[in-house]
């Protein structure tokens, strides 16, 4: 229903160049959501969209998380993602799934880029269906039984008006979750938010998490990367991909806005 090309055989699709997101019908929005759940990420180039139009579009995808502390010119549905000559770090510099510490963690995220460096500033994505499927059957069977604690870490300010980390709750989620739209199993632990595996001692938890993080980071065949241009919009489904924002462009500027859509309580393998 939406013309697209694959970025790699297993991960990511890029929409045809004549598609403008703001003109999509409700049926095409559903097709976009389905494509993201199957392919992990969907890239749309040359999009013409104001901040308010992006916020309005986010409501067509579901319930956007809001950031009450935004300055008045930025709608509460968006967070600004910016790094420049004053930045020591950039948001998302490490493999993660957005705000997985929420009890109903995000489904889709939608990042729209306005300013890009002359080179670099790509975002890397990893396919968490493939991460699960490429574990050995014995390891799959073990991790399917486990759950992990996700803590808000530094990202709490993005999604709340809280002043202190302690005000923002943690969540416990299955280590392998079932995607509600595809029925496929996806690995769901990430170095950005997970503090420990429930029921394992500290050393066991640390060793298993490190093994799973290395599996994601070193499995180049389950990854792709997206190069941004002004007007590029990328949707990623946090239920089945992780991402990593490369910060290789200092001291140049990169500026975009992200909408983050509430998902559902993750479904464990025991529930099917």
Contacting positions for ligand SIN (CB under 6 A): 81, 91-92, 98, 111, 123, 243, 245, 258
Note if 258 is an active site residue.
Answer: yes
- CB-nearer residue toward ligand SIN: 66 or 205: 66
In the bound complex, what is the minimum distance in angstroms from residue 19's beta carbon to ligand SIN? 21
Note if 202 is an active site residue.
Answer: no
- Report helix angle 51-61 to 26-39, nearest 10: 80
Among 67, 112, 150, 243, the active-site one is: 243
Which among 210, 252, 269, 243 is positioned nearest to 121, based on CA atoms? 252
Among 4, 39, 67, 96, the active-site one is: 96
- CB-nearer residue toward ligand SIN: 81 or 159: 81
In the bound complex, what is the minimum distance in angstroms from residue 63's beta carbon to ligand SIN? 18
Which among 97, 78, 108, 116 is positioned nearest to 226, based on CA atoms? 116
In the bound complex, what is the minimum distance in angstroms from residue 243's beta carbon to ligand SIN? 6
How does DSSP assign 109-153, residue by residue? Answer: EEEEEEE--SS---EEEEEHHHHHHTS-HHHHHHHTT-EEEE--G
- CB-nearer residue toward ligand SIN: 243 or 262: 243
Peptide bond preceding 206 in cis form (omega within 30 of 0)? no
Note if 179 is an active site residue.
Answer: no
Q: If 0-12 CB within 10 Å is exposed, 13-18 middle and 19+ buried, where does residue 21 land?
A: buried
- CB-nearer residue toward ligand SIN: 109 or 147: 109
What is the number of H-type helices and E-type strands within the chain? 6, 16
In this structure, what DSSP letter does residue 12 have? -
Note if 173 is an active site residue.
Answer: no
In the bound complex, what is the minimum distance in angstroms from residue 124's beta carbon to ligand SIN? 9
Among 4, 39, 67, 98, the active-site one is: 98
- Residues classed as catalytic: 96, 98, 243, 258
């Amino acid at each position: 229903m939406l013309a697209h090309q694959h970025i790699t055989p297993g991960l990511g699709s890029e929409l045809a160049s004549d598609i403008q997101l703001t003109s999509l019908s409700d049926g095409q929005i559903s097709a976009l959501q389905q494509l993201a759940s199957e392919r992990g990420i969907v890239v749309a180039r040359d999009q013409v969209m104001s901040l308010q139009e992006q916020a309005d579009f986010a409501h067509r995808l579901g319930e956007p998380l809001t950031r009450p502390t935004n300055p008045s010119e930025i709608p509460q549905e968006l967070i600004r993602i910016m790094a420049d000559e004053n930045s020591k770090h950039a948001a998302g510099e490490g493999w993660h799934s957005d705000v997985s510490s929420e009890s109903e963690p995000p489904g889709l995220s939608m990042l729209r880029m306005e300013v890009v460096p002359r080179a670099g500033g790509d975002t890397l994505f990893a396919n968490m269906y493939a991460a699960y499927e490429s574990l050995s059957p014995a390891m799959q069977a073990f991790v399917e039984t486990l759950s992990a604690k996700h803590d808000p870490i530094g990202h709490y300010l993005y999604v709340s008006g809280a002043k202190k980390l302690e005000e923002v709750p943690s969540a416990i989620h299955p280590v392998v979750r079932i995607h509600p739209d595809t029925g496929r199993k996806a690995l769901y632990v990430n170095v950005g938010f997970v503090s420990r595996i429930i029921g394992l001692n500290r050393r066991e938890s640390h060793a298993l998490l490190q093994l799973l993080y290395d599996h994601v980071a070193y499995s180049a065949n389950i990854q792709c990367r997206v190069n941004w241009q002004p007007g590029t919009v990328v949707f990623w489904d946090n239920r089945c991909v992780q991402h990593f924002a490369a910060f290789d462009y200092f001291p140049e500027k990169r500026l975009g806005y992200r909408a983050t859509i509430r998902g559902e309580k993750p479904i464990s393998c025991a529930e099917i």
